[in-house]
Amino acid sequence: MFSINHNTIICSTFSLLAIFSSAVALASDGERTFTLQEDVSGAELIRLDVPAGDVEITGTTGSSVTAVVKASCQQEKRDKCLELLKELGWSKKTGNVTEFGLSPSGITHYDHVTLKVKFGVPKDKKLEANLTAGELRIEGTSACLTANVNAGEVNIKLKENQLASAELSAKVGDVKLVTAKGDKMEGERSLLVGASLDWKGTGTCHTKASVLAGEVQIVLN
């Protein structure tokens, strides 16, 4: 679980904003859980945007994106946090590219809030996942994948036979790849603070994963 205590400002925008959640529970002790289920059978690409937190994405069967968000307040600035919990919701944009974002989008809204988000995404869809700060874990999805984290970690598990290529980069930090045979590779460093790694396979999908500051790791099976 990832907690935000700094003031980096990065905002995501959506042309259509709709707050739609179900099974909402707001507890008096500063906790809230809410869910999402949306049919995406007409989409070619699913784009997920979360400002901050511990984010887990798992490939699923079926044609719906599902999500469960658990948010809780820390003790500092508790009143502001309680107000934020009431505002939390999803923004959505539909089409060939269907986007879901946690609203409000600016990371400074999430000071002193602890967030844990679990997504289920149809495994036959292309996926783009963006996280401003925190940890992003992806498993069992299509290897036609792009993952971006500004500050934090990216950990991905994919089937090796799906991949045509994997392109990993960290402007500040490390990148690693483990093949299905257990061979471990680390990124080359063009500068002392950053690393990159390119891997070629025999599949049809391309994966790109990057961090501005942090670590990227892909494990193939």
Identify whether residues 171 and 110 lie together within a single domain: no
Name the residue with higher pLDDT: 77 or 16: 77
Identify whether residues 4 and 59 lie together within a single domain: yes
How much is the average pLDDT of 133-151? 96
Q: Looking at the 3D structure of the chain, how many domains does it have?
A: 2
Identify whether residues 115 and 14 lie together within a single domain: yes
Domain limit, last residue, from 120, 142, 164: 142
The closest of 82, 51, 81 to 151, measured between CA atoms, is: 51
On whether the CB atoms of residues 131 and 152 are closer than 8 A, the answer is: yes
Q: In the predicted model, what is the mean pLDDT of the chain?
A: 86
Domain limit, last residue, from 111, 127, 142: 142
Q: What is the pLDDT of residue 176?
A: 96
- Segment among 24-28, 35-39, 79-83, 163-167 with least mean pLDDT: 24-28
Identify whether residues 136 and 167 lie together within a single domain: no
The closest of 133, 216, 132, 123 to 178, measured between CA atoms, is: 216
Residue whose token pair is 């970690």: 153
Identify whether residues 172 and 193 lie together within a single domain: yes
Q: Which domain holds residue 166?
A: 143-221
Identify whether residues 163 and 126 lie together within a single domain: no
Identify whether residues 52 and 114 lie together within a single domain: yes
Q: Which two tokens stand for residue 143?
A: 């290897």
Q: Is the pTM value of this prediction over 0.75?
A: yes
Identify whether residues 93 and 118 lie together within a single domain: yes
